[in-house]
Amino acid sequence: MNELYKSILQEIESDLKNAPEAKRQCLQYICDTLKEKIEDYDWVGFYLVSEKIPELLELGPFNGAPTDHTEIPFGKGVCGQVASKKKTMIIQDVRQEENYLACSIDVKSEIVVPIIKEGKFVGEIDIDSHKKSPFGEDDETFLQEIGKILIKEDCI
């Protein structure tokens, strides 16, 4: 994992342990931090499993342009596929993805990483970029670590 990602992880862990305001609003804090610090992260958000309707994702905190996709059924679009399969998806060119839900004409690529708590899918981190092919293994590992921190700090 690159040095920028390592330093951001350390900062997030420290802030969530030592800053009550970061802990209280940890999902929004993560969105704001990632969007501010990582150039290619143009939209950062969380989709969480609905407490009322099984197999439905609900939009949680995010930072970026507003989206009409506030609810996504499992299996629909990239986010819904990740919810169904519980596996990360990296889409380097969204125009090539048949089951893609367009949020903005500016989005060129997307990475969605599941968050698994005690063996159960609870939500996901969704990142959109206005560039083609910006995501790689470092991004996947980094976002998986973010998910682990959120679980460890009981934010999700």
Chain mean pLDDT for the chain: 92
Residue range(s) defining the domain that contains residue 77: 3-152
DSSP state of 129: E
Query: CB neighbours (10 Å) of residue 103?
Result: 21
Q: What is the pTM of this model?
A: 0.93
Confidence of residue 4 (pLDDT cuts 50, 70, 90): very high
Percentage of residues in the chain with pLDDT exceeding 70?
97
Closest C-alpha to 44, from 68, 62, 67, 26: 62
Q: In this predicted structure, what is the pLDDT of residue 92?
A: 95
Q: For the chain, how many structural domains are there in total?
A: 1
| pLDDT tens digits for range 21-35 | 776 799 999 999 999
Closest C-alpha to 82, from 60, 38, 49, 118: 49
Mean pLDDT of 45-70: 95
**Backbone angles phi and psi of 5, in degrees to 5:** -65, -40
CATH at residue 32: 3.30.450.40
Indicate if the pLDDT at residue 134 is higher than 90.
yes
Mean pLDDT of 103-126: 93
Mean pLDDT of 10-24: 83
136: Cβ–Cβ under 8 A, 6 or more apart, which residues? 90
Q: In this predicted structure, what is the pLDDT of residue 18?
A: 83
Mean pLDDT of 96-101: 74
